[in-house]
């Protein structure tokens, strides 16, 4: 799965582009979200967004060069406490990039379906954009994990969920947002767009299908 890692400079530019793209769609408002890319495997080093920065206007200095102990070797600011989740996903999935967004629809679905501990997405052509999926007849289970401010504990729970669902392409934190990943940043950006598209589609479809007495769709005079 691993692709050729990006240099730190290229990673910073590519993360800023992803940030502008997601901010424009309202998926990382108010400094929410965080993004990382593996720059070297041995030793493991990440380019990761600093904590509490606006993802729509990322500058190179807001991208930190960190090691596996969260030591900062470049950039200004501190890594977010959620960096532990990034390392957990990188280790369990061999991912080259991890992206976390906070959209309205992922917040809504992760809240309303939290008791089910996940939601399934099935029968959509868009699923074929997920790594390794070859047909719309695929059934994707997106686990939902309760939110927690104790990050070492949350990282252990997410790690266990990743092991229980080895085919999952993303994880929702309840009333918090989406984590997804990919062999490369390009793959991870694609996974964000696909899963966010599918969440909006699921949410709107459930509302459309539940409408009451009037079921026609042609215009009336």
Interaction site with its own copies (CB under 8 A): 21, 24-26, 29-32, 54, 56, 102, 104-105, 107-109, 111-114, 119-126, 129, 134-137, 147, 149, 173-177, 186, 189-191, 193-194, 196-197, 200-221
Task: Identify which of residues 41 and 128 has a Cβ nearer to its own copies in the complex.
Answer: 128
CB of 44 to its own copies, least distance (A): 27
Q: Is 208 left (phi over 0), alpha (psi -120 to 50) or beta?
A: alpha
CB 2 within 8 A of CB 183: yes
Distance separating alpha carbons of residues 162 and 85, to the nearest angstrom: 11
Task: Identify which of residues 44 and 148 has a Cβ nearer to its own copies in the complex.
Answer: 148
Task: Identify which of residues 71 and 152 has a Cβ nearer to its own copies in the complex.
Answer: 152
Task: Identify which of residues 5 and 33 has a Cβ nearer to its own copies in the complex.
Answer: 33
Distance separating alpha carbons of residues 173 and 15, to the nearest angstrom: 22
CB 32 within 8 A of CB 55: yes
CB of 176 to its own copies, least distance (A): 4
Could you tell me the two tokens for 81?
């406490």
Provide the CB-side half-sphere exposure for 162 (13 A, CA). Answer: 23
Task: Identify which of residues 132 and 214 has a Cβ nearer to its own copies in the complex.
Answer: 214
Task: Identify which of residues 91 and 136 has a Cβ nearer to its own copies in the complex.
Answer: 136
The strand pair at 45-49 and 63-67 is best described as: antiparallel
Report helix, strand or coil for 220.
coil
Could you tell me the two tokens for 4?
């050729």
CB of 113 to its own copies, least distance (A): 7
CB of 46 to its own copies, least distance (A): 22
Q: DSSP letters along 152-219, please?
A: HHHHHHHHHHHHH-TT-SEEEETTTEEEEEESSHHHHHHHHHHHHHHHHHHHHHHHHHT--S----S-
């Amino acid at each position: 799965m691993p692709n050729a890692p990006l240099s730190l400079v290229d990673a910073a530019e590519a993360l800023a582009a992803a940030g502008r793209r997601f901010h424009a769609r309202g998926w990382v408002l108010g400094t929410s979200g965080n993004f990382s890319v593996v720059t070297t495997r041995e030793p493991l080093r990440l380019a990761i967004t600093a904590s509490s920065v606006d993802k729509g206007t990322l500058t190179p200095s807001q991208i930190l060069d960190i090691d596996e102990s969260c030591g900062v070797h470049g950039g200004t600011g501190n890594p977010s406490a959620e960096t532990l989740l990034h390392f957990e996903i990188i280790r369990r999935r061999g991912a080259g990039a991890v992206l976390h967004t906070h959209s309205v629809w992922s917040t809504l679905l992760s809240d309303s379906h939290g008791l089910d501990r996940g939601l399934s997405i099935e029968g959509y052509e868009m699923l074929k954009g997920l790594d390794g999926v070859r047909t719309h007849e695929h059934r994707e289970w997106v686990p939902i994990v309760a939110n927690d401010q104790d990050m070492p504990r949350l990282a252990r729970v997410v790690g266990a969920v990743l092991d229980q669902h080895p085919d999952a392409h993303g994880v929702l934190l309840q009333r918090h947002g989406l984590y997804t990943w990919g062999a490369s940043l390009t793959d991870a950006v694609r996974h964000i767009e696909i899963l966010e598209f599918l969440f909006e589609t699921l949410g709107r479809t459930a509302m459309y299908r539940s409408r009451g007495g009037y079921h026609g769709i042609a215009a009336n005079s």
